A and B are shown apart, each in its own frame.
Chain A
């Protein structure tokens, strides 16, 4: 079959076009993560990154991560889950007998590069006042940094977020890292019926102790959350009717057998 040169060229261009689109499609779906936590248990965080603390000084993560450290990615002007999560962390610090600064350190890092140490300082003051006991200020750092550093640390932790309007779409999770930067445990807080976060002090303490030994622990809390955020679709009635029918059938059958069957009379 003969096709004109012009038509052949058109087909070639069209094919090329599809291939290019396909290529970008494939790549795009590889790169875009939704707001989610992909656990990188046992992997190391890059600790040669520099952030600014709430006083405005430059700090190297390597200098801070010298004991079990809990990373908490939030942004300080967040109107969503960040504040309730930090308040719950503060209350757990107050309830535990472990000493912050001695046994463990908490590092909150803002995922919003536009936030300044001044904003971080306000948040820090607010949170330290919630704890209910005095802790060394350096035991809970509130850091800010540039977008590259933020992307490096959150990608390594498997913490993915999306910009949405003025804010960010993201999850709330605590990431436990040992003194070498190895990710040992993810603690996903639970929710109360009022919509607050709950973190069990015992779970937090256990994570600190095991992180101190460099032990990597699997996560179970995620599975539990599937259940707590679920609303029934209402097939239950049908199944319960099925059970009732089975029950009535069983009782009838048993009564008939008891009455009508010929029991064993013996060989003799």
Chain B
């Protein structure tokens, strides 16, 4: 392509990061790029691929549960299915997805910086991520079979199982390092690289959510690293750390696992909340209600969320005192989440609402996350939890929080930011069609879990008593609707990259944050000159809105 045609095709724009030519050519221009935007897209491709694997496994699990006594696979294969589904969806998809894709791409832009603080470290963390993911895939292919312990790797299963446990444990260990490096990168970026004039309270709320998340990532991820390393040592050298027959303590494993994995729930959900806090003001054209409350509630969630791990262990025979304290803290952690929900709904009030796909997904997020959050509070109550432990109720809860929360927020973010990232617009009608499929399919699939759990259906079972079948059939049919929706959505977004209408304007949604002030798609350096920040991130023209209303009246 000659420089002339380049100039014409960009309509006077400078070449975007997609066309930028550095010292590497072809595929290497991506695989060796330290540009935060290209790394974000590398993550996006990898994560969506793994997401497809996870969805397939989930689909097969639902198919298996269509009939009471085994439909397509036996108990061993089923154990491997739900373990892989959990490991892939939790450690490879939802923990990294929003920080690694949209955090990488938009955090520096939102702060008015040219890149993250350590671009090469950023690329390294992508390679670590890919190594971890590849190890998981290897564990499926190699003789021995994939791990069959459930994604929680509880002792003694994980020490005794004959499957390729070491691959899975090493994979999660390496993924942990990737997560720590990304967290460290973001922390330094936020502390040191904000544009002149951008004080802490002029940062967009997405940046605040990433700040809180990054602290959780760097502090708690080493714990799970050490823990899983200890399981590997125990398996290989038969040193008694967790296995009771070797003189270890299986409860210690549960404590250490949840010390990471409960805060990890907030690594998963807080960035999703950040995405919603960006989208809602833009599509209602109103200043976010209670900016500081939302910002500090992210930090409060990070703090309290790190102190509630014991509520996963109410049925293990901890002391009454610790159960009481963990239960109380669990109730407390609901408060900052509720603050956010109230602030989002308050922002919508009297707003000029544009019901585009990103807002539809955001509203679905509020609805589904509220169900997920409130069912979490139900289980935080000690006596109720004893009844509900290890039933489908908890499976329903985790899917409403993780999929209904972060999954749906990911789709919202894709519909919100993808046109900015690639300069192409998706088909809006198809996007809405896919949304309703996903929303309806989601509820038909997962709501019966709460009823099943209340009736006593145990989790992780490939067979079940005939009295549960009706709800399992409803759920499986729902999973088909959900998968059609997911497929339509991904197909629509992918097609938009090839055939979508070109977007040349900077600000397609009318956003006030910095990413909407720069060229679409952005240039490699983001800004020609580092901007000087004067206004806060959500200064909409509210006066105009009131005049419109007055006219109507």
Contact = CB atoms under 8 A, between A and B. Distances in A.
Given A202-B458, A258-B191, A239 B252 contact: yes
Contacts, number: 97
Given A264-B114, A266-B114, A232 B251 contact: yes
Contacts of B464: 206
Given A209-B466, A235-B248, A246-B223, A264 B187 contact: no
B188 A257 contact: yes
B465 A250 contact: no
Interface stretch (A23-31, A136-144, A210-218): A210-218
Given A223-B157, A267-B525, A247 B249 contact: no
Contact of B241 (A227, A239, A243, A261): A239
Nearest to B461: A206
A198 to B, nearest CB: 13
B143 interface: no
A230 B250 contact: yes
A251 interface: yes
A102 interface: no
Contacts of B456: 202
B245 A246 contact: no
B193 interface: yes
A223 B218 CA distance: 35
A205 B465 contact: yes
A226 B245 contact: yes
A69 to B, nearest CB: 19
The range of chain A's interface size is: 35 or more
Nearest to B122: A264
A243 B226 contact: yes
A230 B116 CA distance: 50
A239 B463 CA distance: 39
Nearest to A267: B525
Interface in A145-204: 193, 202
A265 B195 CA distance: 12
B114 A218 contact: no
A257 B223 CA distance: 20
Contacts of B115: 264, 266
A129 B50 CA distance: 58
Nearest to B466: A209
B219 interface: yes
Interface string B191-220: 111000000000000000000000000110
A232 B250 CA distance: 9
* Shortest 7 CB-CB contacts between residues of A and residues of B: A263-B117, A266-B114, A230-B244, A232-B249, A263-B192, A236-B252, A258-B191
Interface of B: 68-69, 75, 114-119, 155-157, 160, 184, 187-189, 191-193, 218-219, 222-223, 226, 230, 240-241, 244-245, 247-252, 256, 259, 317, 456, 458, 463-466, 525
